[in-house]
A and B are shown apart, each in its own frame.
Chain A
Amino acid sequence: MKTLVLSKMDVPGLVEALGETARLIGPRKKEHQFVFGQITKPEQLALEYPTTILPPSRQLFPNDEPLVRLRLDDVAASREIVEGEKTILLGVHPCDVQGINILDEVFSDSPPDANYLTRRSQTIIIALECQAPCSPYNLCFDKGTYRLEWGYDLLMIDLGDRYFVFTRTGAGEELIGDLPFFRAATPADREALGRARETQAGSFKTRLAGPVNRLPNALKEAYDDLLWEAVGRRCLSCETCTNVCPTCYCFDVADEVELDLVNGTRCRQWDSCQSCTFAEVAGGENFRPRPSERQRHRLFKKEVYQYEKYGRSACVGCGRCSAQCVASIRLNEMYNQVLGG
C-alpha cells in the first residue's frame, strides 16, 4: 500500500488522463440530484456529492443487460454476449464500494456469472471517503460501512485543498503509475489525515437503537410481528426500494426481437421481490401475495438469509431505500422497531 497526495488543482488533469485510458464513470449533477455517469470533461465531475439516485454497482449490473445473441431460425447459432470494457469508477463512497463487493460475492458464488464478472474484472474503483453523513437516512456509521478496509483499488480522503490517497491493489498503482499528479505523502499530510479522520468520526452519529449484530436474531424473532402488516398497508409495491439498492440483484430474463424477425437478444432485466407477481406460478398460486410478506422478505434477505449464507449483512446502509420511498417507509424505523427502540 502506498500513501500519496493529490492536489485538488490536479483533479481536472487526472480526469482527462484517466478518460484517455478507460471509460471514466463518476458522480455528475442531474438537475438537483446526482447520478453516476460517464465523465468526458473534467467540469462534469462533482466529487462533493450526496448519495446518488442509483448506486454505482448498477454500472456493473445494468438493466436490460444483453446475455445471449439469438437467431430465431437457429438455436445452435445462439452466442453469448460476455462483454466488458476497461472502466474506472471514480469517487465511489465507501458504502457503495461495499455494495459492489457484495454483488461480487453473489455473482462469483457457484455457478459464477461470466456476464457480471467479465465486466467487473475490467473495472477499477477509486473510492472517496465521506467527511460527513451524506444522507439523513444512511446507516453507514451503525453498519461500519463509512470507512473501507478492502474492495477498492485507490481510496481518496478529502483534506481540504488536497486528497490523501491510499493505493490498495497493483491495478490501482499501475493506473496512476506514470501520472504526474501524485506525490508521496509527508508527515504533515499524515497529520492532516489524522485530523480529518477525527472530525469525520465526530460528525457521524448512530441512528439505530441497538447494535447491528443483533439484527439477524431480532428480525427472526419478529417474523410474525405486526410491524410487517403496518408496513404492508402503506407499501405501494412500486419497487423503488429494491431498484435503488446497491446490493439488490434479483432479475428476470426476457427475449427482445429485432425488426427483421430473425435476430434477437436474451436480456437480463432488473426485477424486484416487491413486485406482486415475483413469486407467482402457473395455476395462480402466489407464494408472497401480500406487500407485508414482500417487505419482510426484503429485510430478511438483507439481514438474515445473506447473513446465514455469507456471514455478513447485505445492507450497506446507504439510505437510498428510505430516502426514495414514496410511502415514507424508512428502513431505520423498521430496524429500530425490531431492535426495540
Chain B
Amino acid sequence: MMKENIDDLKNILDKEFEDFKSAVKKVETLSGLENIENRFLGKKSLVSEYLKNMGTLSNEFKPIAGKTINDMRRKISERLSALKEEISLLEFDKKLRNEKYDISLPGRKIKTGSKNILNQIIEEIEEFFIGLGYEIAEGPEIETDYYNFEALNHPPDHPARSLHDTFFIDENILLRTHTSPVQIRYMEKHKPPVYVIAPGKTYRKDYDVTHTPMFTQIEGLAVDKDINFGNFKWTLETFVHAIFGRDRKIRFRPHYFPFTEPSAEVDVSCNMCKGSGCRICSYSGWLEILGAGMVDPNLYKFVDYNPEEVNGFAFGIGIERIAMLKYGINDLRMFFENDLRFLNQF
C-alpha cells in the first residue's frame, strides 16, 4: 500500500527509475527492450500497480500522486521509444551489413560502337574551319571531265593530267580524282565571299603500299576581297597547330599545281625525331601534309568572278595521311580492311 507521503513516493519512484536505467543499459535487441517495457510499464509493473490503486488515496493526495506517477511513466516511456528507434536502426544496419555482395564482380557493360577514324578526323577538321566561318560543301563522286579537269585549269593534253591516273566511266565521265570539282560547283552557285571546305572520297588508279584506289580528301577554298598570301599562311598554320599541336613547326615549300599560283606544299616538323631526321620523315625532319596555294586567276573565268576584284587560296588535305601521322598507323590499306580490332581502337 502506498503511504500518503509525497517524499516517500518520489523516493520509491526514483529508485524504480534507477532500476530502469540500469536495466536498459545492457539491452541490445528489440525483444530485450520489450521485456524491459513489460517490467517497468506492463500490467504488473510498479507504476501500473500504483495507478490501479489510485482510488484508495485521499482526495488531497490523489492529484499530486497521480501527477508524479504519470510523470515517471512518461519519462520511462519516452526513454523507451527513443531507445526503440536507436536499436531498430542498429538492427537494420546489421541486417544490411549481413547481405553478401561482391561489388567487384564485373558489371553488365553496354557495348559501344566507334566512329570510323577517317570520319573522326574529317569532323575535327570541319569543326576547325566552321569556327573560321567556312561552310561544308559536297558533290558527286562521278564527275565530268569539265569539273574535274578543265575548269581546274587542266586543259586536254595538259601534262599535269598524267599526275592523276583517272578511272573513267566513259570519255567524258570519270571518278573524281580530287574534291576540287565541288569548289567549282559551289562557286558557280555562290558569289564571293566564299569560304568552303569539301570533304569526300576521291579515286585514282593506283594500288600499292602508299596508294589505295579510293582515298579521302578535304579541299578548302577561300575567295574574298583583299585575301593575300599572308592570310593563306595564317589559315594553314593555325590549322596545323590545331590538328597537330602548337609545338609543331610548319614550312611552305613552293610547288606546282595547275589550279594555284603560287603553289606550295606544306610540311610539318617531324614529331618522331623533333626535326633532326629519322626513317619516318626520310631523314628530312619534315613531313609533307598538304598541297595548297593562291587560286589561279584562270579559274575565276570559269565561274564568272572578276580576278581584279577578288583573290583566294585553296588547299587539299589527305585524310588518311593525317590519320597515319597522328596515330602512327603504318599501313594505308588498314583503313579499308575494316578489321574489328582496328575499328575498336578509335
Q: Specify whether A and B are partners.
A: no
